[in-house]
Structure 1
Amino acid sequence: MVFVLVCRPLQFNNVGDLQTEARRETIILECLLGGKYCSNGFKIQQYIVPASLASGLYAWYPLDGNTSDLSGNANHGYFPGGSWPATLGPSYTFSRSNLPNGTASFNGTDQLFSSDFAPVCNEDFSIALWIFPNNATNNQILGFQQGNGSNPGVMLALNGTGHFEFSSYFSYWNNQNLTHGASSTVLSANVWTHITYVHSGATQQGTIWVNGVNVGATADTVNVSNVTGCITGSLPFQWWTGTPLNIGYGYSNPRFFSGKMDDIWFFKGRQLNANDISTLMDLP
């Protein structure tokens, strides 16, 4: 089990023994030993990576007031700059369990942050997160592009009919080669939904999960002869890939995500299974 210690000074009011030094020391010690975040004398969030999820974990963004990675790998989120829209990142609001500053809120206009997670088509990887979309159609979640307005690589989005979809273009000159799949279920606006994409490097395809249920798979859409799958490292048939991977921003208009996100998990070299996804969904 991996413990990440993130404790900050407690604040005390005029309520009982929260004012006493003994009580203060007891709570701080409990915080340190338990790997917990403590505030105002109460445990409000646990930053503990379950042992079953430690393997292959690249980054975990709880989005509790910041874009820090609490996997222990220090792959913190950042603002990309350069050709990307200027941003101060998301704002923060009450979480799924009603904790203050417990989830990130994106305004659909100019809020995003980035990660150096770079999924590759012939390697196993997984992406899992909670979303609360303000609108359930044409809402971009995350994606990679070589530049602002360039063709997309990996992209997660809610499409025009409200289905959660994964897509990635191959780096072929006419952009007609696409790995794509969508959920059979339609997502709803203003509802917390857990989404997961699990990719197999062996098959170069993936599965799509909504609320812990496998509801779709990807396939190659090929309009150029002799092009199937991907050959990483050998142009011109690999996915567009690289960093930054922008969270809250995607390829097609409207480009920005509108809604809330929580607990983003990135795994490299690992395919999550149903039990893993269930574990993620059960975390506070």
Structure 2
Amino acid sequence: MHENDDDFAAYEASARQHTPWRRVFGLFRPHRRGVLVVLGLIVIAGIAGATTPFMMRAIVDDALPAKDTTLLVWLCCGLLGVAVLAAVASVLQAYVSTHIGQQIMHELRVKLYEHLQSLSLAFFATARTGEVQSRMSSDITGLQSLFTNTATDVARNVSVVLTTMVAMILLDWRLALASLGFMPVLLWLNNRVAGLRERITFQQQERIADMSATVTESLSAGGFILARTMGRARHLNRLFRQKSSEVAHLELRSHTA
């Protein structure tokens, strides 16, 4: 196998293989302080939300039956304060997490560009230009959702689950156990859907790369002249329509899943 074949095979393999979680977590290592701030804000918002049912119970069970206006006012102020605290924590958490996510995206783009610069000239003679551009744009953009939304959503959901479980047990442990009985089924369903979406996402990225390669190769100066000279314009239109239709179909499947 020639050097260009080795480079291209390694490039394709790296695009398809599963990334170990330790590599993903390693991207957050230089931003440990920011991550701790985000986790702290998520915990604060979760605890604030978990205290709401207790204050509501106090209003219904204590303040209203006893017609205790002072207690009612304090509890209502407490509900308002909790709502404000949760909102402020949510805004700060969104800002810090987005800042961290954009910093990681910047570092990934630079690393990928530097890696491509280090490859041999033979690699670029073999690889499709549009596919390389797709890796730089589409794939990196896809990771943005992971770092700015998915990661914080997972941490927030874990915090909400833990604080809600504590609140439920304190309110009524029997109802809590009855509710938690559905958790294994939900986790199993979530795992199945996650696997399905992962497979669809890999297919999406491949089709988007194919479509980008078709656009780059056919609409460049040389490709345009060749298509007109060889009378391939109609064939290229059909090819692009097919690739675009496949991307649209996979996008629909992803959202349906």
Q: TM-score range by the shorter chain?
A: under 0.3
Q: Comparing both structures, which one devotes a greater share of its residues to helix?
A: 2
More strand by share: 1
Larger Rg: 2
- TM-score by length of structure 2 reads 0.26
